[in-house]
Chains A and B, each alone.
Chain A
């Protein structure tokens, strides 16, 4: 039993990590709480639902289109809403604007899909197999695999590609980066786009694993990403992965062994404790901008 719970926890953790990475990178580059993150990727997830359920499109293609739609929406939000408020003295205003953007995106989705819980089709056949003596669902294994794959590709991209390194440098010193000839606006746009894409992949994986999606998952998604990012160290890629994993695992363990109604209170207690004890997160640097 414990083995199975941990495996599901790891699967959820990997999905949370995917969702958190997008959020945390965006924070890293503009030092802005992107409250619209969850609602943006749920928008993409709902598009995927429509493509799958209504138009019977092949799942891989559907995810691809949905991810581009979610990434595109994140791109638009940055371009239209955050870009003008990038200067440090506008940080508080931009945070409030981000809340507004979240609300607008959420309402657009609500017009199209309503706010009830909808069933989300399984992308892969849901059957169980025995693996290392554990009863595991194929869906969970594939979800875990896809999430880990996306994260691995992202890590390789950030570490070894010229563009990935440029993203990292823009988040360290935007002015100095522009003096290197790095096109700042394009880099910021692409980070928002990537954050949206990864979020949608996470959203689709999660919805498909639990066969459900709802508008409410958007706001909850933002909270999860925020909490995981803070626990791991906001703005740090490794921190996002660690935070997502901790959150996914503890959420499942608490849900199964304590009670699912204690799940959220315990999680947010974790957030508060982290903010009090080590506001820079587990992997955060003390010289990084605090939350």
Chain B
């Protein structure tokens, strides 16, 4: 589904990624872990075409994405829910969701999906005509996720979707991720909660200062001493 090879990327003169490779197979949940500043968000930006890598290649469903614009990548079936919510603050909840479906032509299906997310996140339904900027942080996070799903992607990039949410909602997000995956969506999940993330992921990559330090099957990583020492130490 997605093959990323040897990506190098930088912001101006600051190098952020030094040769990162990663693969996602159809129907997988792949976790991307790592400390703050390791380059996780940067990596997602490269995949979705928001940041041009200095070298390396991204292939999505057999097609190279080098130099392909972000909006084209969305049409090809990828959605990226970026870090920090990024909802349209002056637009209503409804409009935000409609924009998530910008690439779709099936009006009835879009309406149905919106109602579905209002069922899952009732607070969004209650506030459908409210400006997104006036929602609480957690509510904005829910909106950002629902908006990302509106394009019905076959590959979903989620950058810390549970950030700032109450524990019960975090669980809700994890459930949604699993449901989506069961329905056939492949997922690349960036999260801070290593335990929970490894529990639902098939495989995981750990980034360290812009390179892949560890990668493997999720069950194995959960048992790996290195991961336990560095990332799970305080949890288990």
Contacts of B192 in A (CB 8 A): none
Picked from A165, A179, A182, A183, the residue with its CB within 8 Å of the CB of B91 is A165
Q: Are B71 and A184 in contact (CB under 8 A)?
A: yes
Expressed in whole angstroms, the minimum distance between the Cβ of B232 and any Cβ of chain A is 32
Q: Which of B70, B74, B79, B103 has the most CB of A within 10 A?
A: B70
Determine whether B82 belongs to the interface, using a CB cutoff of 8 Å to chain A.
yes
Please give me the residue from chain A that is nearest to B103 by CB atom: A181
Minimal beta-carbon separation of B137 from chain A (angstroms): 16
Interchain nearest-CB distance for B40 vs A (Å): 17
Distance of A175 Cα from B70 Cα, bound (Å): 9
Interface centre among B79, B99, B148 (most CB of A within 10 A): B99
Chain A residues whose CB sits within 8 angstroms of the CB of B82 once the complex forms: 175-176, 179
Give the 6 A-B residue pairs with the shortest CB-CB distance, closest first.
A181-B74, A181-B103, A176-B86, A178-B70, A169-B88, A183-B71
A84 CB–B CB distance under 8 Å? no
User: Does B90 have its Cβ within 8 Å of any Cβ on chain A?
Assistant: yes
Assess whether B98 is interfacial by the CB under 8 Å rule. yes
Contact residues, A158-200 vs B (CB, 8 A)? 162, 165-166, 168-169, 172-173, 175-184
Complex contacts, A179 vs chain B, CB 8 Å: 48, 50, 70, 74, 79-80, 82, 86, 148
Residues of B with C-beta under 8 A to A165: 91, 95, 98-99
Q: How far is the CA of A63 from the CA of B128 in the complex (A)?
A: 42
Contact residues of A: prevailing secondary structure: helix
Whole-angstrom distance between the Cβ of A125 and the nearest chain B Cβ: 45
A181 touching B75, Cβ below 8 Å: yes
A168 to chain B: closest residue by CB: B91
A180–B50 alpha-carbon span in the complex (Å): 12
Contact B89 A172 (CB under 8 A): yes
Which residues 144-201 of B have a CB within 8 angstroms of A?
147-148, 151
Q: How far is the CA of A98 from the CA of B17 in the complex (A)?
A: 36
B61 CB → nearest A CB, Å:
16
Residue of B nearest to A187 (CB): B71
Known: A179-B50, A179-B79. A162 touches B102 (CB 8 A): yes
Q: Which residues of A contact B98 (CB under 8 A)?
A: 162, 165
Selected from A169, A175, A184, A285, the residue in CB contact (under 8 A) with B99 is: A169
Q: Give Cα distance in the complex from A181 to B82, angstroms.
A: 14
Q: Quick check: B91 and A172 within 8 Å, CB to CB?
A: yes
Whole-angstrom distance between the alpha carbons of A165 and B101 in the complex?
Answer: 12
CA–CA, A172 to B87, complex, Å?
9
Please name all residues of chain A whose beta carbon is closer than 8 Å to the beta carbon of B95 when the two chains form the complex: 165, 168-169
Determine if B89 and A180 form an interchain contact, defined as CB atoms under 8 angstroms apart: no
- Interfacial residues of chain A within 238-291, with CB under 8 A of chain B in the complex: 285, 287
> Distance in Å from the Cβ of B126 to the closest Cβ of chain A?
21
Q: How far is the CB of A160 from chain B (nearest CB, A)?
A: 11
User: What residues of A have a CB within 8 angstroms of the CB of B103 in the complex?
Assistant: 180-181
Contact A175-B90, Cβ < 8 Å, known A162-B98, A181-B102, A182-B102:
no
Complex alpha-carbon distance, A285 and B131, angstroms: 13
Are A180 and B86 interface neighbours, CB within 8 A? no
Query: Are B100 and A180 in touch, CB under 8 angstroms?
Result: yes
Distance A45 CA – B89 CA, assembled complex (angstroms): 38
**CB of B69 closer than 8 Å to a CB of A:** yes
Could you tell me the distance in whole angstroms from the C-beta of B27 to the nearest C-beta in chain A?
23
- Identity of the chain B residue whose Cβ is nearest the Cβ of A172 in the assembled complex: B88
Q: Which of B79, B89, B99 contacts A177 (CB 8 A)?
A: B99
A237 CB → nearest B CB, Å: 12
